[in-house]
């Protein structure tokens, strides 16, 4: 014989069970939010620490790359380049050859620096290199084959002085502003 309990007798059990379930869910979600918040903070702290360690290792390399970029721009500037490579008694073509070889050698020496400088800076450096080579070649073509190296120097420097803005100085200013953004 099955004895049926009236529904009213089950209500306190159902109510108690629902109370425990609701209390358990409240505790579960409270703990979940606290643990989630702790894990997020822990993750952020670890990420900041990783960035700090990475920066302490890469910052010297980046600064060195910017230093090399500045040196390259200074050495590629026709004012210093022609003065450094000019020697009396050489022809236009000989000086042109010396200048182009020097620019290309310096560029090859500094190729790895593009890893540490911004893409914009490297593009400026590359463009200045190509423009300098074009300037030297065009100036040499405009001169007679028997012209002296001094005439090439004079033609190039005259062209540069006629420009509204010195492109080498503009490149240096860009590098300086980029370095300042690192700090």
Kindly state the average pLDDT of the residues 117-134. Answer: 95
Kindly state the average pLDDT of the residues 149-172. Answer: 92
Decide if 173 is inside a domain.
yes
Decide if 12 is inside a domain.
no
Decide if 26 is inside a domain.
no
Decide if 8 is inside a domain.
no
In sequence order, which residues have a C-beta less than 8 Å from that of residue 91 and are 6 or more positions away?
Answer: 145, 146, 147, 148, 149
Instruction: Say how many domains are in the chain.
Output: 1
Decide if 15 is inside a domain.
no
What confidence category does residue 80 fall into, taking pLDDT thresholds of 50, 70 and 90? very high
Q: Which domain holds residue 163?
A: 59-182
**Encoded tokens for 26:** 């409240």
In sequence order, which residues have a C-beta less than 8 Å from that of residue 156 and are 6 or more positions away?
Answer: 78, 82, 135, 136, 139
Kindly state the average pLDDT of the residues 41-63. Answer: 87
Q: Give the pLDDT confidence score for residue 16 in this predicted structure.
A: 87
Tens digits of residue pLDDT in 89-116: 888 999 999 999 999 999 999 999 999 9
User: Which residues does residue 91 pair with via DSSP β-bridges, in sequence order?
Assistant: 148
Decide if 155 is inside a domain.
yes
As a whole number, the mean pLDDT across the chain is: 89
pTM of the model: 0.70
Decide if 64 is inside a domain.
yes
Decide if 20 is inside a domain.
no
Q: Give the pLDDT confidence score for residue 56 in this predicted structure.
A: 80
Gap between the Cα atoms of 98 and 85, Å rounded: 7
């Amino acid at each position: 014989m099955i004895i049926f309990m009236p529904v009213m007798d089950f209500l306190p059990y159902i109510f108690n069970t629902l109370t425990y379930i609701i209390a358990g869910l409240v505790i579960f979600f409270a703990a979940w939010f606290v643990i989630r918040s702790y894990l997020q903070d822990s993750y952020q702290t670890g990420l900041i620490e990783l960035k700090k360690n990475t920066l302490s290792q890469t910052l010297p390399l980046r600064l060195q790359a910017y230093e090399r970029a500045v040196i390259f721009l200074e050495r590629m500037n026709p004012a210093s380049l022609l003065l450094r490579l000019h020697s009396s008694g050489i022809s236009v073509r000989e000086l042109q050859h010396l200048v182009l070889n020097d620019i290309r050698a310096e560029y090859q020496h500094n190729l790895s620096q593009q890893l540490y400088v911004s893409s914009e800076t490297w593009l400026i450096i590359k463009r200045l290199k190509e423009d300098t080579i074009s300037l030297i070649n065009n100036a040499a073509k405009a001169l007679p084959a028997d012209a002296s190296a001094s005439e090439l120097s004079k033609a190039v420097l005259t062209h540069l002085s006629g420009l509204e803005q010195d492109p080498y100085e503009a490149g240096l200013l860009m590098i300086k502003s980029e370095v300042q953004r690192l700090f």
